[in-house]
Amino acid sequence: MGNGFATKVVHAGEGKGKPYDAVTMPIVQTSTYAFANTQEILEFVEEKESGETNLRGEYGRYGNPTQSAVEEKVAALEGGECALLFSSGMGALSTLLLSLLSRGDHLVIASSTYRQTRNIALDHLSRWGIDTTFLKDGSIDNLEGSLRPNTKLILCEAPTNPYLRVIDLDRVSQIATKHGIVTAIDSTFATPVNLRPLHHGIDLVFHSATKYLGGHNDLLAGVIVGSQALLSPIETLRGVLGCVGSPHDAYLLLRGLKTLDLRVQAQNKTGQRIAEFLEKHPRISAVYYPGLPSHPDHAVAARLMTGFGGVVSFEVVGDGAQASEVIDHLQIPYIGPTLGGVESIAQQQALFISRDPAKRSASGVSDSLIRYAAGIEDADDLIADLSQALDSVTVRTVAST
């Protein structure tokens, strides 16, 4: 097949011998699979109980050929032994946590993280007797001191949402290995184009495949990559919980993955240009992008990553009202809560958290912060659009004084 990444995104997980000699992997749209006779059932059960892999289908909640093609492709891209597809990113993360943690266990979340990840730890794992310690951004020196005898999992995110912090995965892996603790990372913002956490000793990688992997804002999916030994109990629980990806979403994801390398490379370049433009603009008070030397984790990101992604977060001079004006003056991006697609999307992230200023402040996300997720539009057009939006707010502010 070839070892190049661009070759793998097209061909991994898909042989040439597809049904009906199709070039594209078909959508196997079925909820169940029929058996020819009783003997075939007995042989199937015997193989399953013996732990053999590559079994024929039984029921859609346990697997699907279209789903399997996606899993093989993503595993190849991350350099993992195998992968599991889920109906959403949170479905993947929730199943991972419930599979690996039990009552009395301790979880360490090693950097700022997606708010729903924080919510499941605080609002749900805590109800089931699982304790969580959260480390502040940049405090990896405190990681080893936060571990307990009952710590079972260290969970990271890189880059983080929305301040794009990048934790030193090599150090996380060294500390975890020393203490016999499993590590997992949300690598949604990075994608396997820019970061391969397994190569740095992390045990499990998961993505909201809704974002960059799908790339077209038309599906929900999540995926976990790792060893067969770690994924086996997660796969079992997925079959119980039923959060398996649908055949049609798997097909859309398979299609999106084929252009992943092209899309992300373009978004890397655009993200860098936007960040550099914003850093020099007088209406911007702060820019958060790991590709900038001013970012606190730039050195770590430059060592771990091959590109810095298409998401740029920045703060507008003034208060939240000023940021809202910038958002409303933008003409090209959509306004919404997602990222990673071919269309640019911008959001004043704090407003999606709560209408209550106190709750927004407690979240740690500034009202003046805008998260800008660049698509694959012309970079000059996006920068010109940002420029006019920022300049429009300046003119209105000056005119009112």
What CATH number did the domain enclosing 251 receive? 3.40.640.10
Q: Is residue 139 part of a domain?
A: yes
Q: Is residue 55 part of a domain?
A: no
Residue 109 or 139, more confident: 109
Place of tokens 């001013």: 294
CB-CB contact of 122 with 132 (8 Å)? yes
- Which position among 61, 171, 269, 273 bears the catalytic label? 61
What are 287-306's pLDDT values in tens digits?
Answer: 999 999 999 999 999 999 99
Q: What is the pTM of this model?
A: 0.93
Is residue 100 pLDDT above 70, yes or no? Answer: yes
Dist. CA 313–CA 287, nearest whole Å: 6
> What rounded mean pLDDT belongs to the chain?
93
What is the average pLDDT across 63-88? 96
Decide: helix, strand or coil at residue 84: strand
Q: Give burial (CB, 10 Å; 0-12/13-18/19+) of 397.
A: middle
To the query of whether residue 297 is one of the catalytic residues in this protein, the response is no
Task: Please report the pLDDT score of residue 361 as a whole number.
Answer: 75
What is the average pLDDT across 189-209? 98
Which residue, of 231, 257, 283, is where some domain finishes? 257
Instruction: State the DSSP code for 138.
Output: T
Task: Please report the pLDDT score of residue 399 as a whole number.
Answer: 40
Say whether both 184 and 216 belong to one domain.
Answer: yes
Say whether both 130 and 264 belong to one domain.
Answer: no
pLDDT band at 380 (very low <50, low <70, confident <90, very high): very high
Nearest to 208 by CA among 192, 223, 196, 190: 223
Which residue, of 230, 257, 284, is where some domain finishes? 257
Residue 115 or 279, more confident: 279
Say whether both 163 and 233 belong to one domain.
Answer: yes
pLDDT band at 51 (very low <50, low <70, confident <90, very high): confident
Task: Please report the pLDDT score of residue 397 as a whole number.
Answer: 45
Q: Is residue 188 part of a domain?
A: yes
Task: Please report the pLDDT score of residue 111 as a whole number.
Answer: 75
Say whether both 211 and 308 belong to one domain.
Answer: no
To the query of whether residue 61 is one of the catalytic residues in this protein, the response is yes
Q: Is residue 387 part of a domain?
A: yes
What is the average pLDDT across 60-89? 96
Task: Please report the pLDDT score of residue 47 as a whole number.
Answer: 86
To the query of whether residue 303 is one of the catalytic residues in this protein, the response is no
Highest mean pLDDT among 22-26, 237-241, 360-364: 237-241
The number of domains in the chain is 2
To the query of whether residue 211 is one of the catalytic residues in this protein, the response is yes
What are 247-261's pLDDT values in tens digits?
Answer: 999 999 999 999 999
Residue 160 or 55, more confident: 160
What is the average pLDDT across 372-395? 93
State which residues form the domain around 376: 260-399
Is residue 204 pLDDT above 60, yes or no? Answer: yes
Among the residue ranges 30-34, 356-360, 382-386, the one predicted with the least confidence is: 356-360
Say whether both 108 and 250 belong to one domain.
Answer: yes
Q: Is residue 345 part of a domain?
A: yes
Task: Please report the pLDDT score of residue 400 as a whole number.
Answer: 41
Say whether both 280 and 137 belong to one domain.
Answer: no
Is residue 128 pLDDT above 60, yes or no? Answer: yes
Task: Please report the pLDDT score of residue 35 as a whole number.
Answer: 94
Q: What angle do CA 374, 190, 311 make, to 5 degrees?
A: 25
Two tokens at 377?
A: 């539009």
Is residue 138 pLDDT above 80, yes or no? Answer: no
Considering only CA atoms, give the Rg of the chain.
22
Place of tokens 């790792």: 226
Q: Is residue 135 part of a domain?
A: yes
Task: Please report the pLDDT score of residue 363 as a whole number.
Answer: 75
What is the average pLDDT across 64-71? 95
Task: Please report the pLDDT score of residue 396 as a whole number.
Answer: 47
- Which position among 8, 73, 211, 263 bears the catalytic label? 211
Which residue, of 235, 257, 279, is where some domain finishes? 257
Say whether both 120 and 204 belong to one domain.
Answer: yes
CB-CB contact of 202 with 79 (8 Å)? no
Say whether both 269 and 237 belong to one domain.
Answer: no
Residue 368 is part of a domain; what is its CATH number?
3.90.1150.10
Looking at the chain, the whole-number percentage of residues with pLDDT higher than 70 is: 97
- Which position among 186, 249, 261, 367 bears the catalytic label? 186
Say whether both 193 and 310 belong to one domain.
Answer: no
Task: Please report the pLDDT score of residue 53 as a whole number.
Answer: 59
Nearest to 371 by CA among 347, 350, 387, 391: 347
Two tokens at 202?
A: 């992390």
Say whether both 265 and 276 belong to one domain.
Answer: yes
Among the residue ranges 96-105, 126-135, 387-396, the one predicted with the least confidence is: 387-396
Q: Is residue 118 part of a domain?
A: yes
- Which position among 114, 251, 288, 372 bears the catalytic label? 114
DSSP result, 241-253? HT-PPPHHHHHHH
Two tokens at 14?
A: 């898909």
What CA dihedral angle connects 279, 280, 285 and 289, to 10 degrees? 0
CB-CB contact of 231 with 82 (8 Å)? yes
What is the average pLDDT across 84-109? 98
Is residue 358 pLDDT above 90, yes or no? Answer: no
Task: Please report the pLDDT score of residue 401 as a whole number.
Answer: 39
Is residue 381 pLDDT above 50, yes or no? Answer: yes
Q: Is residue 35 part of a domain?
A: no
pLDDT band at 102 (very low <50, low <70, confident <90, very high): very high
Task: Please report the pLDDT score of residue 16 as a whole number.
Answer: 83
CB atoms near residue 127 (< 10 Å): 8
Say whether both 319 and 204 belong to one domain.
Answer: no
Nearest to 119 by CA among 141, 93, 99: 93
Decide: helix, strand or coil at residue 287: strand
Is residue 1 pLDDT above 80, yes or no? Answer: no
Say whether both 367 and 238 belong to one domain.
Answer: no
Give the chain's length.
401
Dist. CA 277–CA 32, nearest whole Å: 54
